[in-house]
Amino acid sequence: MGCAPMGHILYDEVMRYNPKNPYWFNRDRFILSAGHGCMLQYALLHLAGYDSVLASFLHILSFLLNLKSFRQWGSRTPGHPENFETPGVEVTTGPLGQGIANAVGLALAEKHLAARFNKPDNEIVDHYTYVILGDGCQMEGISNEACSLAGHWGLGKLIAFYDDNHISIDGDTEIAFTENVDTRFEGLGWHVIWVKNGNTGYDEIRAAIKEAKAVKDKPTLIKVTTTIGYGSPNKANSYSVHGSALGAKEVDATRKNLGWPYEPFHVPEEVKAHWSRHTPQGAALEAEWNAKFAEYEQKYKEEAAELKAIITGELPAGWEKALPTYTPESPADATRNLSQQNLNALVKVLPGLLGGSADLASSNMTLLKMYGDFQKDTPEERNVRFGVREHGMGAICNGIALHSPGFIPYCATFFVFTDYMRAAIRISALCEARVIYVMTHDSIGLGEDGPTHQPIEHLASFRAMPNVLMLRPADGNETAGAYKVAVLNKKRPSILALSRQKLPQLPGTSIEGVEKGGYIVSDNSSGNNPNVILIGTGSELEIAAKAADELRKEGKTVRVVSFVSWELFDEQSDAYKESVLPSAVSARVSIEAGSTFGWAKIVGSKGKAIGIDRFGASAPAGKIYKEFGLTPEAVVAAAKELC
């Protein structure tokens, strides 16, 4: 209620959009970082004319009925904004601070595309990103990470409204939040404006937006001091209005207090008439832009083709041919290095690929060698330097991915530090954002840095997360296969767990095998009935292969299976799964340098899972593997017990 003046001015007077095509490319983007206030956004979408596009065969009721079904089963008005559920909502917000960080990604995408594709005679990319955030967003550390980068990058078309109402769920913010936000944001490199009367100061808000747009080299924070629950005679300016409904009596009292005589959900005809202009205006804006793009396409064919691919998400024909391939004679190498080979091959054919690392590019091996750094004065470049800001990095990449379907952002750090960005990765999965998480130093194989840096439970935890592809490639072909899968999966993020240590290029691995999740690398049996099945992932596939060689010398029939992705394997047909892991063969041994949690699903009750169920240690990688029993000898011994 306190944000209504901001929302009204943005949607009715300032923002450029087409309600009949919520995905028009050059629209202004609006992010409600304070996502618990989503009824405001739903009401504004309805007034602006988005209701017709929100109807579908699954949602035959009008958007007005969806408003009445707020937060109920089957409605398109969930309890926090969800981009995959409600057209007109740009990103999924709710966990505080994520939205403002997403907005930084959206603004980065706009600045990058404008620098790359605009011409003196045709500025084909020109839109703003607007955000409303609250005190909770300001308190969460992710907002500071992302806003620090926004200031560093000079994202002048990012305008954030800070709903300064001094109330959080526990009460007045004085109990925990007394910093000077204005000074902090000035220190972060933002232009700061204070609107002292956000409840009724419409002209002040308009003037602040005008001033913000005049500042081209900095993002702007407009602090708007408001009263939470403005208009409610008994609950305004109290924490009780923050997270619970007013209740029927207080709603009636509020209606009387504001002089609003209409029934619930009634929109007066004069209000409808006033807002109805957005439908023809939006159509005209898009038509004007389409004509502008047609001219651009005639004059700048190559650039237009690249931009169109980013806008539509259509992959260039034959792009996958750029993926490098390897043979057993190719030199051994760490999969982090092989990953860099893939990134540098793909950036030549995928115009929307860009990304970087959390201050570890030289360790994660994520530099795009043919490009410079995305910086304030070189925004056309495609290496993004995130600094030590893992959480902000993940959320910014979500914003980039959701800006346009053809963007393919990647970000990198050590696999163990996904702990610092798990919330952003979870939102990637929930909001169907194609982000590629390049996670190196994936096991105890990183060696001397020790248990603080050695991931143990991380593979299992991401396998438990819905709509994430957890991929652990074993060599060059599997790394290429992992990238192919990550690019093709447009509606879910991928995590690539990559080794620090060198690994051999194994016989039998393939790009095509990775797409199945699990596949046979070698087998000397017949009739789909080996004596034992050895299953490995990543750096441990080599150990499984060596163990198989020893067992075969003793006359055993052994199948070696690479299990790169549990999720992809689960999606295969029952017939395929039976061809790889026949139900009649209970003698199964898995080996993975991580928690054994979950492996019983693969090896069965009679199989054995070799792994690590404690924290790691500081020592050279080879020594640690031996001490933890991750050796061919251990696999051979386990197999002999079973067969």
Task: Determine whether the annotation assigns residue 152 to a binding site.
Answer: no
Q: Give all strands of the β-sheet with 518-523 in edge-to-edge order.
A: 518-523, 558-563, 532-536, 588-591, 608-610
Task: Determine whether the annotation assigns residue 36 to a binding site.
Answer: yes
Say if strands 171-172 and 167-168 run parallel, antiparallel, or are unpaired: antiparallel
Least Cα distance to 495 among 554, 417, 437, 432 occurs for 437
Q: Are 580 and 519 in contact (CB under 8 A)?
A: yes
Q: Are 440 and 414 in contact (CB under 8 A)?
A: yes
Task: Determine whether the annotation assigns residue 462 to a binding site.
Answer: no
Q: Length of the chain, please? A: 643
Task: Determine whether the annotation assigns residue 171 to a binding site.
Answer: no
The C-alpha atoms of residue 267 and residue 278 are separated, in whole angstroms, by: 16
Task: Determine whether the annotation assigns residue 607 to a binding site.
Answer: no
Three-state DSSP at 522 gives strand
Task: Determine whether the annotation assigns residue 222 to a binding site.
Answer: no
Which secondary structure element, helix H or strand E, spans residue 559, and what is its range? strand 558-563
Task: Determine whether the annotation assigns residue 274 to a binding site.
Answer: no
Token reading at 470: 């957890």
Task: Determine whether the annotation assigns residue 549 to a binding site.
Answer: no
Q: Are 607 and 588 in contact (CB under 8 A)?
A: yes
Task: Determine whether the annotation assigns residue 135 to a binding site.
Answer: yes
Decide if 390 is catalytic.
yes
- DSSP letter string over 186-208? HHTT-EEEEES-TTT-HHHHHHH
Task: Determine whether the annotation assigns residue 95 to a binding site.
Answer: yes
Token reading at 168: 């959080």
The C-alpha atoms of residue 339 and residue 505 are separated, in whole angstroms, by: 14
Task: Determine whether the annotation assigns residue 530 to a binding site.
Answer: no
- DSSP letter string over 570-636? HTS-HHHHHHHS-TT---EEEE-SS--TTTHHHH-TTSEEE---S---SS-HHHHHHHTT-SHHHHH
- DSSP letter string over 300-324? -HHHHHHHHHHHH-PPPTTGGGGS-
Task: Determine whether the annotation assigns residue 363 to a binding site.
Answer: yes
The residue from 390, 432, 542, 592 that is catalytic is 390
Q: Give all strands of the β-sheet with 129-133 in edge-to-edge order.
A: 29-32, 129-133, 158-164, 220-225, 191-195
Name residues whose C-beta falls within 8 Å of residue 275's C-beta, 6 or more positions apart in sequence. 12, 47, 48, 49
Total H helices, total E strands in the chain: 26, 19
Task: Determine whether the annotation assigns residue 136 to a binding site.
Answer: yes
The C-alpha atoms of residue 215 and residue 232 are separated, in whole angstroms, by: 36
The C-alpha atoms of residue 586 and residue 578 are separated, in whole angstroms, by: 12
Token reading at 369: 């060698």
Task: Determine whether the annotation assigns residue 364 to a binding site.
Answer: no
Which segments within 408-529 are labelled E, that is strand? 408-414, 436-440, 469-471, 494-497, 518-523
Q: Specify burial of residue 439 (Cβ count, 10 A radius: 0-12, 13-18, 19+).
A: buried
Task: Determine whether the annotation assigns residue 481 to a binding site.
Answer: no
Task: Determine whether the annotation assigns residue 517 to a binding site.
Answer: no
Q: Residues annotated in the binding site for Mg(2+), as ranges?
A: 135, 165, 167
Q: Residues annotated in the binding site for thiamine diphosphate, as ranges?
A: 36, 94-96, 136, 165, 242, 417
Q: Residues annotated in the binding site, as ranges?
A: 36, 94-96, 135-136, 165, 167, 242, 336, 363, 417, 441, 449, 453, 500
Q: Residues annotated in the binding site for substrate, as ranges?
A: 242, 336, 363, 441, 449, 453, 500
List, by residue number, the catalytic residues.
390
